Amino acid sequence: MQKLVLVAKGGKITLLLVMVLLLLLPNKAQTQPSSALRMLADKVVANYVNAQNINYGIAIGIIDGKETYQYYYGKTSDTLLQLPDSNSVFLLGSLSKVITTSLMMSMVNEKILQPTDSITQFLPDSVWQHNPFLQTISLQKLASHTALLPKNPYNLPQTIVQPDNLYGNYQLEDLYRFLQSYQPTSGIFKKQSKKLFVYSHTGIGLLGHLLENASGLHFDQLIEQYLGKYCGGLPITGARLQPTKLPYLLPGHTINGKLAPPISFASMYASEGLYSTLPNMLRFVRACMTNKLFEPALEPHFNTQLPDVKVGWGWYVIMNGKRQPVIYTHSGKTGGYSNYLAFEKEKQVAVVVLSNSDNRIDRIGIDLLDILLR
């Protein structure tokens, strides 16, 4: 079996293909006894970190059929020695993208918009009237990274005040100014001619604002009113943490174990800057795995640089022929946090791993998913 780590590092997606031989049994997976699954999770975590000595936390959520399990490791920080728990809040980084595209699907279901709508329907006239290229971009092109927008807007460097806080001063007005004159470069056109997607923080960040413009509601209100409705409630998931929830935000850590400086996202929260808890993410993933309204977002719409990996609306779709079931996944590493999620629909298994450290935890999630699929 080919196992894929999809890494968002320093604002840039790297596709790292890890070749590992694995025999997946053809029978339907049985729900694991809770004690046995905990022992397996402990063993997998111990393969990569010493949970007794790390100064950050790891939260692992597993869906196995109808059962849901949560396991917590490490500590919240050097000064907060307790285990993370179900109230602990993590910055999601690039996992924000699949929440944004799933929110789009819930709004489609409510008939507020259509995936084929041009983005110009939801932009101020002053932004698009003098740039005909924008009329060629649909909402679904933004969601699938096929809109020919760059990874980051070209005027981003002009707004950076603190190097560690890349998007902290990039306002919506800056994004609109970028769009007014943007034309795809020859390099981006070359990728498109090869039918490869162009991974774009810009596109998903813009998509979040278009959803707001289409509804007249702030992003967090949209999550509460629409996406949360189909997920059994997502009260902690959003771009803004209520004051009562701020104490539960775990501080980010660098790869060397030091506290990472706080970061913010101004206009780019829909792409990189959402927050959530493990219970919220498990409800979200279960809804994406079981609710038919999210199925269009899971369709493998476009190719990536790897032959076995395609992209849906926000999701990476790993398709490796007869030997492997289709896996839907995303991961991210942003500002002192590292996250991973993946699920397989037929056997109804999913893994979510959240951490308040730059240390990559993808392999923990991948190994657990392999165990569940055996």
Strand segments, DSSP code E, in the chain are 2-9, 12-19, 57-64, 67-74, 90-91, 275-276, 302-303, 309-311, 316-318, 327-334, 337-344, 349-355
Please classify residue 244 by burial: count the beta carbons closer than 10 Å to its beta carbon, then call 0-12 exposed, 13-18 middle and 19+ buried. Answer: exposed
Structure tokens belonging to residue 336: 């002192």
Number of domains making up the chain? 1
Sequence letter at residue 135: Q
Give the range of the structural domain holding residue 237, as residue numbers without chain letter. 2-373
pTM (predicted TM-score): 0.90
Between CA 254 and CA 269 the distance in angstroms is 21
CATH code of 304's domain: 3.40.710.10
Tell the residue number behind the tokens 């779709």, with chain if given: 317
Tens digit of each residue's pLDDT, the chain (374 residues):
333 444 433 333 333 322 222 223 233 334 556 788 999 999 999 999 998 889 999 999 999 999 999 999 999 988 878 899 999 999 999 999 999 999 999 999 999 999 999 999 999 999 999 999 999 999 999 999 999 999 999 999 999 999 999 999 999 999 999 999 999 987 776 666 555 688 999 999 999 999 999 999 999 999 999 999 999 999 999 999 989 999 999 999 999 889 999 999 999 999 999 999 999 999 999 999 999 999 999 999 888 878 889 999 999 999 876 657 899 999 988 989 999 999 999 999 999 999 999 998 999 999 999 999 98
Could you tell me if 348 and 63 are in contact, meaning their C-beta atoms sit under 8 angstroms apart?
A: yes
